[in-house]
Each structure stands twice: as structure tokens, then as C-alpha cells.
Chains A and B, each alone.
Chain A
Amino acid sequence: MSSLEIRDLRKRFGSVEVLKDINLSAESGEFVALVGPSGCGKSTLLAMIAGLESVSSGEIRIDDRVVNDAAPKDRDIAMVFQSYALYPTMTVRENMSFGMESRKVPKAEQKTTIARVAEMLQIEPLLNRKPSQLSGGQRQRVAMGRALVRDPKLFLFDEPLSNLDAKLRIEMRGEIKRLHRDVGKTTVYVTHDQVEAMTLASRIAVMFGGVLQQYDTPKNIYDDPVNRFVAGFMGSPTMNFLDATVERGGLVLEGGDGTVLPLPPERLAGLTPGQRVIWGVRPEHFSPAAEGRVERRGGVSVPVEAHVEMTEPTGAETILMTRIAGQKALISVEPDDAPDAGQTAALAVDMAKTCLFDPTTDTRL
């Protein structure tokens, strides 16, 4: 079991700085997800951990050993690629034994290891087939098998599920979670899908523009985003961002009729009257006023009126495209509670769960 430590890591390609001052550490057995949009640097970071990209400055430590100059094979890692990267001219068995052969592991040990891993992943019937004869999900399992056979200190995943269709993706997600639970190795998992990150990770590192925005548990990332980017990136449908001003002990929405949405006192403490803010409220933070859901949980709700423009029933929920004080907002309600388009919905919001952001710096207030 090991830990991973990244200190002050920077990466430059020519004159372009692609990773800026990354500081990250993972405890033994943790599942760390690197999330972010394309181009945020998460794949480069993974490549540097693997040793496939050089370090411009900073340190990478695996198990307290600085590995900056170590070749990938000397870092005791295993990696699963988005395109599976199975050796096309070798059988599944040979794919799995290739690494062991390169390291001169005795044949008997190779055999038992392959048998064990094949059983774990249920790919025994596939051992003599070539990759071109396998389906997408089978290839993914073989790719994981190849990684498991190494018994490494660190598992690296590079968007392994992106090439699968939606249903298969959910199935494989479950398998990866199960595997991690059984095998318990430290894992770094790159994905652009925040749902995958939320469901799989013990800690999520949100990245944007080469900078680590926030590194925390899924719950904290979701409930306590550190800036507007993180808030907007995590959660689907995305958080609503409404312009407002701080006035008379609460928020007054721009374009509204001047109604004040009172804020809890602890929130008001750091704000000045007249300050302009961005109010971040998630679609599921709204509930029908009549229900009293917030009160039942011991909170205080604030009434809000939303003018419904369109409804999107998805079966499990209905998403309302509304306007609150003239600004667009998405609201998620149960299908039975959904009003029709054109109506005005009377809603309640738990202000304690919402967030406030500075309009210029986008940081959380």
C-alpha cells in the first residue's frame, strides 16, 4: 500500500504553462478522481505521474520516493487507457503476461497470477482470444486485468469508460468500484464525467486551466464549492447563477420586484450592503412551497416565485426552465408536483444550502 504526493508541480510545453503549482496527496488505498473539462491538464498530470511526461519543476513522490527521473517501468504503476491499448497481435493471455515477461517473472508465477486475475474479472473464457475478437466491455476488463496482474503500488486510469455506451458505462463503473473495494490500491482516475467522479472517488481534484481548483471529498465539493467554476462543473443539471445585490439583511435579485430573500445571519456577516453578488442555487434546492420540506428538516425556507417557460420531463424528475425575477433558472421537481408551462410556481428555497460568489473573482464568499 502506498501514498502519492505531488508538490509544487509545474509543466511547460515550450512557453506554454500547462500545469501550475499542483499540490496533491493521496493516502494509501484512496480513490482520487481528477476531473475537469478538456484541456484542463488532468491527462498531462496523469502522464507525469506515470512517467510518460517529464517534470518541469516540482516533485512527485510515490511511497515517499521521488520518482521524477524514474522510467515508467520503475515506478511500480499500472495504467488503463481510454482506448484500452491492448496489444493487437497478442492473445488476452499474452497481453497480460507481456509485462511479467519483460520483468522476467518465472513462468509458474505468471500462470498463477493470470489465473487469479482472470477469475476476479471473469475473463477466463477469453484468454485465448485476440483483442479484435472482443467486445468493448470485454476489452475494458482485459485492460484492467493487464493492470491488476502487475500488482502495482498505484493504479492510473485515463478516462477508461469514455468509449463505452451509457449502459455499459454504468455497469463498468460498478465493477471498478467493486474492484477497488476488493483490491484496495491507491488509484488516480481521470475523467471529464463528474458523475463518475462523484460515485467512484473518495476525494475529487477539480482542475481548470492547469490549476487545481479544489481537492476534497465529493460531498464537500458538491455542497461547499470553493469557486464558481467548481460549483458549475459539478452537478447535473448545473447550478443556477443569478445576479443579486445584498440589501436589508438578504438578497435582492436584479430585475426583480425588490423582494428581499433573507439570508441566515452567519452569511450576512462577511457582506456589505450594496455589494453585488452571484447567487448560486442548485435546481434541487427548490421545493414546492406548500410541501414544507425545508421546515421538516429543521431549516428555514424562503419563498420564491418562478415563472415556468418550459418543462422537460425525464421520467424520474421534471426539469422546469423558468425565470425568477426575469433571470433564467433551472428547477428540478418531482413529476407529480410539476406545474405546466406558462404557470407561476410558488417555491421554497433553503438559503443555507445556497452559495454566494463574488462577481469579479468568482470565488466563494
Chain B
Amino acid sequence: MSETGHIEFDPLSTGSARRRITSKAIVYGLLGVFAAFYLMPIVIILANTLRPLDDIVRTGFIAWPTDISLSYWGEAWGTFCIGGQCEGVSRYFKNSLAMAIPATVISTALGLINGYVLSKWRFRGADLMFGLITLGVFLPPQMTLLPWAYILGSIGLSNTISGLVLVHVVQGVSFTTLFCRNYFINIPDDLIKAARIDGAGFWRIFRRIVLPLSPPIVIVAVIWQFTGIWNEFLFGTIFTSGDKQPITAAIVAFSGSGTGERHYNVEAAAVIMAALPPLFIYLVGGKYFVRGLTSGAVK
């Protein structure tokens, strides 16, 4: 019995059959209620991407769809008017992609190298450096807005996607370094020592020993970074404007304005599109998502 862990032993399964059944019923019942609460918003919005506008205006969002049409998705993508331009959200979606993918790749790559150095190459001040880099994780973005605005302006990157990439890379390196270093520290030092005795140098060890062991943490870092960067709003809305904005900023632009006719169904489709990429990654790689949570968040 000492071999079985907490997961095995089920306190609710002791006692009479009646007690077992009622307690399990309560548990599943409560879970179901909560699940409904969590799923409800997405279900409602999804339903509303299919309904004609008059229906929505008449009965609000929370109603059964009657006339269903998929046309609003096409509108949202290609013809929807945002801030004076009527090209749909496709442009902003592509902006977000152009921003998130490079930033994720670069910050993860840098994080890998940094994590490798900080965990395997002892030198004076290594811990201090690590501490400093990690502080970047906790720094509130408000402290960096004005400096960034100035810098991006000076090097001519204001209102460009590249500018956003730069900002996200610098901020992201803190995260990825933290994850990777904590992960690599579990690689036995003896492996590295043996390789050094064999004559391998810094990059050789990285390529042949560390990198092959890194896929799990790479996945975690990529998922975490992509999700965070794609979903980010503050930098997006400050450092770009107009048709250079990422999709999060675009959504606020069209849904915030109260003037004119609100095309709720198209807006709903646009909102779903904005949520899809990270959601998709989450559904596919959820296990790694959680791993990133439990390892990175609780320092």
C-alpha cells in the first residue's frame, strides 16, 4: 500500500455503494456546471458568427441560431471595415504572424544558448547575470514604454512590425532563458566534462549534447512565447498604428468604437480568428502548456 500514491487511492470509493454513487454524482455534477460556465462564452460567440445581423440585434447574443450562414467569416477575413479600410482582418492576422513567428524563433534560440551557458559554464558573476535576465520577467511593461518609443523612433523602427519583433524578442529572452536554464541544469555535468575531456569545444557540446536533449523545453518555450506574443496588446497598440497593427489591437479598434452600425456577427468571427492560433496550439500541445506553467511560473 505504500507503493500506491495519492492518485491511486480514491477516498470517495470507500464505504457503501450508495455513498460512492452519490458522492461521485455530486462531483461530476459540479464539474459539469463549471465546465458550462467556462465553455459558454466561446460557444455563444461561435454561434453568433453564423447568425444574420438582424437576429443578433433583435435577440442579443444569447439565443439559438436560426438562419445560419457562413458568409460572415468571409466578410471578417476580407471585406470588413476597420478604421477606414475595408480589407477585413486578414492584414492584421498576417501582421500578427509576421510579428509572432520571428520573435518566437529568435527569443527561443537565444534562450537556448543563454540557458546552456548559464547552466553549464561556471564563471564569475553567472548567477548575477541570471538574476538580472530573470528580472526582465517581472518588469512591468509600463516602465519600458517611453524608452522603447524613443529607441524605436531613433532607429527608424517605429510603426513597423520589425520594431515589435525587436521589443518582443528582448522581453521574451528573459522568459526563454529562465525556462531553458532551469531545464538544462538537470543535464548531468559529467556529460559535459566527458565531452570536454574528449576535446569538444563550446559550440560542439551545444550542438551534439545539449541541443538533442532540448526538444521538450523548446516546445514549451515556443508555445509559451507564441501565445504570449500573439495575445499581447499594449506594445501592439502603442508602437504601431493603422494597418501595421497586430490583430489584438485591431479588435479593440473596431469593437471599441460605438459609432455606426455594429456588425456583431462579423466582429464575432474576427474575434474568433484572433483567438484561433494560440487556441489551436493549446489544444494540440496542451501537455507542454501545462508543463510551462508549473515549471516557469512557480520560481
Contact = CB atoms under 8 A, between A and B. Distances in A.
Chain B associates with chain A: yes
Interface of A: 43-44, 46-47, 51-52, 54, 69-72, 74, 81-83, 158-159, 162
A70 B15 contact: yes
Interface string B14-42: 11110100000000000000000000000
Nearest to B19: A71
A217 B13 CA distance: 35
Contacts of A70: 15-16
Contact of B14 (A46, A51, A81): A51
A81 B3 CA distance: 12
B9 interface: yes
Contacts of A54: 13-14
Contacts of A74: 15
B22 to A, nearest CB: 13
Nearest to A158: B1
B294 interface: no
A43 B4 CA distance: 10
A14 to B, nearest CB: 13
Contacts of B1: 43-44, 46-47, 52, 81-82, 158
B19 A52 contact: no
A71 B2 contact: no
Interface residues of B, number: 10
9 contacts: A43-B2, A47-B1, A52-B1, A69-B15, A70-B16, A71-B16, A72-B14, A81-B1, A81-B2
A83 to B, nearest CB: 6
Contacts of A158: 1-2
B54 to A, nearest CB: 57
A43 B19 contact: no
A189 to B, nearest CB: 13
A54 B14 CA distance: 7
A71 B3 contact: no
Nearest to A70: B15
A43 B139 CA distance: 53
Interface in B185-213: none
A82 B17 contact: no
Contacts of B14: 51-52, 54, 71-72
B105 to A, nearest CB: 45
Which among B3, B13, B14, B16 has the greatest number of chain A C-beta atoms within 10 A?
B14
Contacts, number: 33
Contacts of A44: 1
A344 B68 CA distance: 99
Given A69-B17, A70-B15, A72-B14, A52 B9 contact: yes
Nearest to B2: A82
A203 B116 CA distance: 61
Contacts of B3: 43
B2 A159 contact: yes
Which among B1, B3, B9, B16 has the greatest number of chain A C-beta atoms within 10 A?
B1
B107 to A, nearest CB: 41
A238 to B, nearest CB: 25
Given A51-B14, A81-B2, 17 more contacts: A43-B1, A43-B2, A43-B3, A46-B1, A51-B15, A52-B9, A52-B14, A54-B14, A69-B16, A71-B14, A71-B16, A71-B19, A72-B14, A74-B15, A82-B1, A82-B2, A83-B2
A314 B131 CA distance: 57
Contacts of B13: 54
A287 B16 CA distance: 59
B6 to A, nearest CB: 12
B103 to A, nearest CB: 44
Contacts of A81: 1-2
A79 to B, nearest CB: 9
A71 B15 contact: yes
Nearest to B13: A54
Top 7 closest pairs, chain A to chain B, by CB: A71-B15, A43-B1, A69-B16, A82-B2, A71-B14, A47-B1, A51-B14
Contacts of B15: 51, 69-71, 74
A10 to B, nearest CB: 17
Interface string B51-84: 0000000000000000000000000000000000
B257 to A, nearest CB: 54
Nearest to B9: A52
Contacts of B2: 43, 81-83, 158-159, 162
Contacts of A159: 2
Contacts of B9: 52
A52 B19 CA distance: 14
A181 B14 CA distance: 32
A74 B19 CA distance: 13
A71 B15 CA distance: 4
Contacts of B17: 69
A351 to B, nearest CB: 43
A71 B20 CA distance: 10
A84 to B, nearest CB: 11
Contacts of B16: 69-71
Contacts of A162: 2
B9 to A, nearest CB: 7
A74 B15 CA distance: 9
A47 B4 CA distance: 11
Contacts of A51: 14-15
A43 B2 CA distance: 8
Contacts of A71: 14-16, 19
A50 B13 CA distance: 13
A57 to B, nearest CB: 14
Contacts of A43: 1-3
Nearest to A51: B14
A304 B153 CA distance: 102
A59 to B, nearest CB: 15
Which among B2, B3, B9 has the greatest number of chain A C-beta atoms within 10 A?
B2
A51 B14 CA distance: 6
Nearest to A83: B2
